[in-house]
Amino acid sequence: MASTQAVQGAQVLVASNRGPVSYTVDEDGSLRARRGGGGLVSGLSAIGPEAGALWVCSALSDGDREAVRRGVGEDGVRMLDIPADVHADAYNGIANSVLWFVHHMLYQTPLEPVFDAEFRRQWASYETYNRAFAEALAEEAAPGAAVLVQDYHLTLVPGMLRALRPDLRIGHFSHTPWAPPEYFRMLPDDIAGQVLRGMLGADRLGFLTRRWADAFTACCERFADGLGNTRIGVHGLGADADFLRARSHEADVEERIVALRQEIGTAPDGGARRTIVRVDRTELSKNIVRGLLAYRQLLEDHPEWRERIAHVAFAYPSRQDLAVYRDYTAEVRRVAEEINERYGTPGWRPVVLHLEDDFARSLAAYRIADVALVNPVRDGMNLVAKEVPVVSDAGCALVLSREAGAHEELGEDAITVNPYDVVETARALHEALTTGPEERVERSKRLAAAATALPPAQWFLDQLNALREGTPG
């Protein structure tokens, strides 16, 4: 565990849309709290109670809003009761439908985007939502406190907070890619300028890879007066090996391994079927449909694999308020069913698809994976690519998109694919399935070592220390 000394004396605040806890209202009216995991939660736990840490987040559900109204909360968390319609405009309308699409280059450009009056109305909500965070942080922060603002939901906060509280150390971290200037310029000029100026209100900006950091710098050079006094740092969040190794051997995971093996079934020779595993939120950038098409191509090009392999695909619901996400989920299901109808036999379901979120089952799939398929069209990092090699029982091969941030660290021992090229991806899956066991184990060990080089606690402390010390980079 990293030392807490380095941050002594400084109050630390974190700001993000989604906080570490969420509430539901039970039938009897009582509130039930559910604590989330993830890199930030374990990162923040590394700084120790003397830092007086406070996490400012938004109420997201009716349960959260009810908790705020009743004054129910957790120490160290302040949930903002932003009106539901303002939040919906900011989160669904701007953050997830515009900024997310720009940074992941997801627009189908002949039809989208259209920056119309409705967009302008939603943008005003995005400003209101960012201002609510800036005001809460300004109110809560002790003199000279360090504030770490997270992600594309809150790009305006650093600038707004700087104006309110020039004494603070302000950092911002992007968990997504950053679009290169040729794509970023798609935003209306005044909006692009506002985003860049908002971000440049920070003392220091963090990115997951050098590529995204360079894209941001290039945008500032093209559309603003450069970076000014803002410093840039790269922090490649790694997998939490200790947590994953312990959690993946708990009883519920063992149970799910048994159930999954049953679902997958055995090959005609009675041996275990080989498994190609993927686990994603059903997110457009994750490229699940092309992954399924590549698997279908594999079954076409290499009929010898039929009945001897299974594609275990977990596609968990995400952002279901947006029609485009619901449609994408339906398409994932449709293509998986089509493959099962076309190739399946009475004893073999080629695609084992699950759409209900279950972390223990994800870990079970990681453990039995022979091959992990991670093929996003674009991804800030992609932690699945880092988690599978850490957890897999017998060492797994990794087929990895060159467009995932994780590729910068894992590219050498992964099998690299262009995520748009389903023929190449099918070939890569075949290569992964035919890699000899010794080479696979060796590569998997090297992947696990690279994947855990910067665990969440150190990732968080590195940023905090660099922000407080004012060190370059």
For ligand F6P, the binding residues (CB under 6 A) are 18, 151, 175-176, 318-319, 380
Strand partners, 275: 310
HSE-up of residue 315 (Cα within 13 Å, Cβ side): 28
Nearest-5° Cα angle at 38, 233 to 254: 140
C-alpha 386/C-alpha 379 separation (Å) is 13
C-alpha 239/C-alpha 151 separation (Å) is 19
In the bound state, the residue with its beta carbon closest to ligand F6P is 175
- Smallest gap from residue 380 Cβ to ligand F6P (A): 5
Q: Select 97 or 444, whichever has its Cβ closest to ligand F6P.
A: 97
- Smallest gap from residue 175 Cβ to ligand F6P (A): 4
- Smallest gap from residue 152 Cβ to ligand F6P (A): 7
3-state SS assignment for residue 114: coil
C-alpha 218/C-alpha 213 separation (Å) is 9
3-state helix, strand, coil in the chain (%, to 5): 50, 15, 35
Q: Select 133 or 295, whichever has its Cβ closest to ligand F6P.
A: 133
Going by C-alpha positions, the residue among 288, 370, 296, 363 that lies closest to residue 330 is 288
- Smallest gap from residue 359 Cβ to ligand F6P (A): 13
Q: Retrieve residue 321's tokens.
A: 């308020």
Q: How many CB atoms lie within 10 A of CB 363?
A: 22
Contact between 177 and 378 under an 8 Å Cβ cutoff? The reply is yes
Q: Select 111 or 323, whichever has its Cβ closest to ligand F6P.
A: 323
- Smallest gap from residue 277 Cβ to ligand F6P (A): 19
Q: Select 381 or 399, whichever has its Cβ closest to ligand F6P.
A: 381
Q: Select 319 or 427, whichever has its Cβ closest to ligand F6P.
A: 319
- Smallest gap from residue 343 Cβ to ligand F6P (A): 33
Q: Select 237 or 415, whichever has its Cβ closest to ligand F6P.
A: 237
Q: Retrieve residue 192's tokens.
A: 């692009």
- Smallest gap from residue 38 Cβ to ligand F6P (A): 7
Q: Select 212 or 295, whichever has its Cβ closest to ligand F6P.
A: 212
- Smallest gap from residue 319 Cβ to ligand F6P (A): 6
C-alpha 133/C-alpha 3 separation (Å) is 29
C-alpha 13/C-alpha 158 separation (Å) is 13
Kind and range of the H or E run holding 357 = none
C-alpha 466/C-alpha 216 separation (Å) is 19
Q: Select 295 or 314, whichever has its Cβ closest to ligand F6P.
A: 314
